[in-house]
Amino acid sequence: MRGDLFSPECPTRKLLDRIGTKWMSMAVKVLAEEAGELRFSELRRRMPGVSQKMLSVTLQGMVKDGLVGRRVEPVVPPRVFYRLTPLGLSLDEPLAALREWAEEHMVEIDHANQRYTQDAPGV
């Protein structure tokens, strides 16, 4: 019956809005590979290119969504650890399928783009 997907409060739409952000799905992948806790700084090193602000914002969103758990060791300087919740871990499954598809087929998309571009001489 899934005809009502993508209606106003469509769950798929909301999920896509999340995984479409630049860093969230990468964070899921890195945390899923770790299968345990990672410190903020370690997480950052494993996500090349992420700024400290965006990693912070991304993780806050994921904690709020219940995808990630956050644990603070009250020492100075602070040590903060993140790990996937069971919910977050379950999300890695469909995301892994997406990654596999990308690895197998994105080259075809690249080729299609090249063909398209060279077949359409400068407007």
Partner DNA sequence: CAGGATCCCACGCGATACTG
Partner DNA sequence: CAGTATCGCGTGGGATCCTG
Q: CA dihedral defined by 59, 63, 68, 74, rounded to 10 degrees?
A: 80
CB of 122 to a second copy, least distance (A): 16
Taking the C-alpha atoms of residue 86 and residue 89, their distance in angstroms, rounded to an integer, is 5
The helix/strand/coil state of 61 is helix
- Which residues in 68-97 contact a second copy (CB under 8 A)? 87, 90-91, 93-95, 97
* Positions of E strands within 38-117: 38-39, 68-73, 79-84
Per-residue binding string, DNA, 53-92, x by CB under 7 A, is xx-x--xx---------x------xxxx------------
CB of 46 to DNA, least distance (A): 12
Q: Which helix (H) or strand (E) holds 55?
A: helix 52-64
CB of 68 to a second copy, least distance (A): 10
Stretch that binds DNA, among 5-13, 27-35, 36-44, 100-108 (CB under 7 A): 36-44
